[in-house]
Amino acid sequence: MQYSLKQIQFTVFILFVLLSSSHNANSQEVVNSQTALEQALDEHKGEVVYLDFWASWCGPCRKSFPWMNTVQEQYKQQGFSVISINLDADKMLAEKFLIETPANFTVIYDPKGKIAKHFKIQGMPSSMLIGRDGKIKSRHTGFFTKKIPEYQQEIEQLLNAIEVK
Amino acid sequence: MKNKIDKTNIKAALTIATTALLGTNNLAQAESTSTSAEENTWEFDSAFLFYSEVDRVSAGEAIFNAKKTFDNEEVLNLKLTIDALTGASANGAVAQPTVQTFTRPSGNGQYEIAPGDTPLDDTFHDTRVQLNGQWTQPLAPDYTASGGVHISKEYDYLSLGVNGNIAIDFDRKNSTFSAGFSYFQDTFTPEGGIPKPFASMLIGDSNDPSWDDDFAKTRIGSEDDKSTADILLGFTQVINRRMLMQFNYSYSMVEGYLTDPFKILSVVDNDGAAQDYIYESRPDSRTKQSIYAQSLYHFDTTVLDVSYRYMWDDWEITSHTIDSRLRIPLGDSFGTESYLQPHLRVYQQSAADFYRPFLLESDPLPAFASADYRIGEMTAFTVGIKYGMLVNNGHELSFRLEYYRQTPTDAGFNEPGILKDVELYPTVDAIIAQVTYSF
Amino acid sequence: MMYKKIQITLLIPILIGTTGCASLGVEPWERDLLSKKEMSLNAEPIDAALDDHIYFSKEASSGGKGFGGGGCGCN
């Protein structure tokens, strides 16, 4: 299934409307995480985006951070960004994690997991590669160090892809 | 980890888009959540356990475990266990109001038991060394397989074993089916050889010139063996964010020499006076089955682990085991990330159909008989407490102290004459103390 | 009698597997508590091995415990 950026924006807007009219006192933060993602995607429009879902208690997530830092630096000039979604229910644990394993990429907090649920995340960690046209090109469940060459190849292919309008 | 919280570091770590607010209902202290092992590093555990029964057996056991997790989540686990046993064990005979004399299992020498005392044989000193190796390998995204070997050696016993198992995850890993098997081949070369079933224990003078020949007549061989095959089927289900449950079924078959060559039975007359001591005899096969259920529940800060096992076999033994632990984190007040963990275990078993606390001279000899209280009717409980904390840069140190009480009970055997005045079912009390250091 | 017990124990997971699955379980990102060491089915393997040895030597029952499942569910 491919989502265009417009579809993502539309869904987020609908969710915003529904959630703001709900009685749930936590709806404020939920809306914020969705709009935060929307804003981040907007900022990086036209770039290849690596969307990563992680949590402090997830071991393979810890392993993926050094690599994500590396590719963020390596491909930044070519128009590439890593946007990560943190799914810790307790933000303090995420902050503690980031002290030990710093990130030089965007971190959006989604403690209620609304973004994860929207994207039907199947396992931890999960990642999606969004092409320059705003469409999701690939999804991965889990992070495997032996697959790093494969992950990088996918990024490079998208960076070099000629956009067909 | 004991890191100073550097405010500038937090700011550097967090980025622009963090506008989300967190509900203040999350009071959890920033307990270090355990993640899977660091890649390509070794994790070591070392433990020493001391077990001591009042007036009976004492044992010391040391374990050294090394675990390494590789790049692709393969795990190698190596374990070395050394244990030493000393002290006295019940030999199966019943107490008498008079002095009793028994021959040592080796045939070399006799020992005397005071009137009224439960006969205990203190010949047991043994040291055992065991090595285990286990390899775990993910086969596919939801498939994990594991296989291992076991070797154990003591003065008179050799045990070799293999095991293999597979675990399959379903439904975003909320459900897991597992199946495993193990096979063990053991060889027993007891001191004094294998006694002839129901042969009378030769009592006399080991220095007598005819002793060796007479003793040899009570033996049928120098060694024997047994093989054990087990299968286990399991199902694990995540119930909710706080709860996990597991259900297992296991089937075990043992064949070979299952008798205890060191145990005897007293043959008594109608007044309860021992007339003879004969070596016990057990069937040469045993089929056991068990069902097991375990539940883990995470409260606000404490974790409760409760399990129940029901076992039944073709020796007519049935047992119930309830085991429970409550993990109580203490935060940093009594040591870094310390915890207390009380433990309660309750156990009950029924007697094997060939269990006899003693034999009556006037009765015909049964096909099989054993007075070993460990296959008799009994209840037992264990209460204990464990304390753990982090030391030296994240290494865990823990102490465990437990009290184990076994209460053999009367399975409905009439006690003739003088046997009414002796303790036929003595309680066994033991202390368990353990220290563990992981690094 | 014993067969009934086996049936019941096997029935529970089958029931869960077929009917209850939809309502049981958590999303992959809700496994924060489950990923803790204390929530592992075999949380203290050294203690368990030492205890198993004691109870195997002093009682007539052994084993029955299992492996697999739970945890962080990662990878």
DSSP state letters, B353-401: TTB-SSEETTSPPPSSBB--GGGSSEEEEEEEEEEEEEETTTEEEEEEE
Six-digit token string for B278: 């004969």
CB atoms within 10 A of CB B12: 14
Query: B51 CA to chain C: closest CA distance, Å?
Result: 8
pLDDT at B300 over 70: yes
Rounded Cα gap, residues B13 and B11, in angstroms:
5
Per-residue pLDDT band at B73 (split at 50, 70, 90): confident
Supply the angle between the helices A59-75 and A148-160 in degrees, to the nearest 10: 30
Among chain A residues, the shortest Cα distance to B34 is held by A57
Contact yes or no for A90 and C75 at CB 8 A: no
Two structure tokens written together for A96: 């503690």
Shortest CB distance from B51 goes to which of C27, C54, C62? C54
| Bridge partners, residue A48, by sequence | A80
Task: Give me the percent of chain B exceeding a pLDDT of 90.
Answer: 79
Closest CA to B266 of B278, B257, B250, B282: B278
Tell me whether C48 touches chain B (CB under 8 Å): no
Number of neighbours of residue B417 by Cβ within 10 angstroms: 12
> Phi/psi of residue C13, each to 5°?
-65, -35
pLDDT at B4 over 50: no
Q: Are B197 and B279 in contact (CB under 8 A)?
A: yes
Question: How do residues A2-47 score in pLDDT, each as one tens digit?
Answer: 556 666 666 666 665 555 554 444 555 545 888 888 888 888 988 9
| pLDDT per residue as tens digits for the range A105-133 | 999 999 999 999 999 999 999 999 999 99
pLDDT at B308 over 90: yes
Which residue's entry shows tokens 């959006």? A108
Q: Residues with Cβ < 8 Å from B290, sequence gap 6 or more?
A: B248, B249, B250, B252, B309, B310, B311, B312, C61, C63, C64
Q: Is the pLDDT of residue B195 over 60?
A: yes
Q: Which chain A residue has its CA at the smallest distance from B8's CA?
A: A99
* Residues B387, B389, B391, B393, CA torsion sign: positive
**Is ipTM strictly over 0.95?**
no
Other beta carbons less than 10 A from residue B187's beta carbon: 15
CA-based nearest residue in chain C for residue A126: C75
Global pTM value:
0.84
- B178: Cα within 13 Å, side-chain hemisphere: 28
Nearest CB partner across the interface for A121, out of C29, C35, C36 = C29
pLDDT band per the 50, 70, 90 thresholds, residue B36: very low
Residue A32 to residue B13, Cβ atoms within 8 A: no
Nearest Cα of chain B lies from the Cα of A32 at a distance, in angstroms, of 5
Measured in angstroms, the CA of C39 and the nearest CA of chain A are apart by: 13
Considering CB atoms only, which of A56, A90, A142 is closest to C75?
Answer: A142
pLDDT for A22 equals 47
CB-side neighbour CA atoms (13 Å) of B38: 5
Amino acid at A103: A
Chain B residues in contact with C12 by the CB 8 A cut-off are 247, 293
Sign of the Cα torsion A54, A56, A57, A62 reads: positive
Over pLDDT 90: what percentage of chain A? 61
Residue C11 is predicted with a pLDDT of 65
Q: What is the pLDDT of residue B288?
A: 96
Question: What are the E-state strand segments in A87-143?
Answer: 106-109, 126-130, 136-141
Q: In this model, does residue B232 exceed pLDDT 50? A: yes
Which of A27, A58, A87, A93 is the best residue to mutate to test the B interface, defined by the most B CB atoms within 10 Å of its own CB? Answer: A93
pLDDT value, residue B23: 26
Q: How many helices (H) and strands (E) does chain C have?
A: 2, 0
Say whether A124 and C27 touch across the interface (CB within 8 A): no
Tokens of C21: 């699955």
